[in-house]
Amino acid sequence: MKPKISVIISTFNKLDRLMITMFCLGYQNLDKSLFEVIVINDGSNDGTKEFLDSTKFNFNVQVHHQENKGQAFARNKGIEMSNGSIIVFIDDDLIAIPDFLEYHLKEHEQDSNCVILGRIYRINVEDFKIVTNPIYANFESGMQSIKTYIKKDLYLDMVERVFDKTLNNIAWICFTGGNSSISKENLVNARGFDANFYRWGPEDIELGYRIYKNKYEFKYCPHIINYHLDVEKNRNQMLSDTARNLKYLQKKYPGNEEILGYINFTSGGASLEEFSYKMAGKLFEAEKHPNQFKFQPFDYINLKSGKL
């Protein structure tokens, strides 16, 4: 019997975090025959290959090892290998609640054309083992204790503002490979991820844009939760990657007002509300929109690099 869900994980040199991600997938309430997990090892040299090849999991797992080709390429390989009609994307440093896959499946059973976006809570601690060790020791109580380590996250704030304010015409900027699902058919119709994006960049948001242009609805489901064991990134590298990828994005969509609007927003030039109104061709009156959400790129980069 084919699984209904294929969970796709791209991983690169995050063995200790991947281990807890896989461990928690073993505690999913969904019948194990209904899902498979596809792990694309994107050139790791930290023991990931040995772990994946030697570990017996209590759910169906496919593993593919490749040279380092980037997250977009790896996820596309996972899509190619998948047997499920629903694709769920998570990262290699995310801890899923037990109902995670069951909730994703229920949403697609209600509407197969929806793109489902779950809630990602950011966990940033000096030593992530203070979070993971209690889970390994006692899954249920460990999952309860993880809530005490949740940190503020600008991305989550943005997602919740988009859906709270029903800014549906820009919901595509919320698409992420960390907690999302889409039918395989719709994903293939959108042609998957663009592997030309380099390292850390908006390859998921750009795919979200193409999905949006194919007229699929985005639905935010805050009850579908996973916890992100955030990793501090190199600030200079993030700045370089962001500049390079935004330049590529603009080149790919020359003169596209929606893409230019996104770049303006993500560069701090316009609020979320201004962005949405402009894309809808509506007059934006700032005085009618107190407490607008403005994305501050340097704040976000400083946050991700441990400088804030």
Residue 308 is predicted with a pLDDT of 47
What is the secondary structure of the chain as a DSSP string?
---SEEEEEEESS-HHHHHHHHHHHTT-SS-GGGEEEEEEEES--SSHHHHHHHPPPSSEEEEEEE----HHHHHHHHHHH--SSEEEEE-TTEEE-TTHHHHHHHHHHH-TTEEEEEEEEEE--SSTHHHHHHHHH-HHHHHHHGGGGEE--HHHHHHHHHHHTT-GGGGGGG--SSEEEEEHHHHHHTT---TTS-SSSTHHHHHHHHHHHTTPEEEEEEEEEEEEE-----HHHHHHHHHHHHHHHHHHSTT-HHHHHHHHHHTTSS-HHHHHHHHTT----GGGS-S-----HHHHHHHHTT--
Identity at 70, one-letter amino acid code = G
Residue 177 is predicted with a pLDDT of 93
Residue 296 is predicted with a pLDDT of 72
Q: Whole-model pTM above 0.85? A: yes
Residue 153 is predicted with a pLDDT of 86
236-261 in b/e burial notation, b at 16+ Cβ within 10 A?
eebeebbeebbebbeeebeeeebbeb
Residue 299 is predicted with a pLDDT of 60
- 147 burial class (0-12, 13-18, 19+ CB within 10 angstroms)? exposed
Residue 36 is predicted with a pLDDT of 98
10-residue averages of pLDDT along the chain (308 residues): 95 97 98 98 97 97 96 96 98 97 98 95 92 97 96 90 95 96 96 86 92 96 96 71 86 96 90 95 91 75 56
Residue 268 is predicted with a pLDDT of 86
Q: Quote the CA–CA distance of 162 and 181 in Å, as a whole number.
A: 18
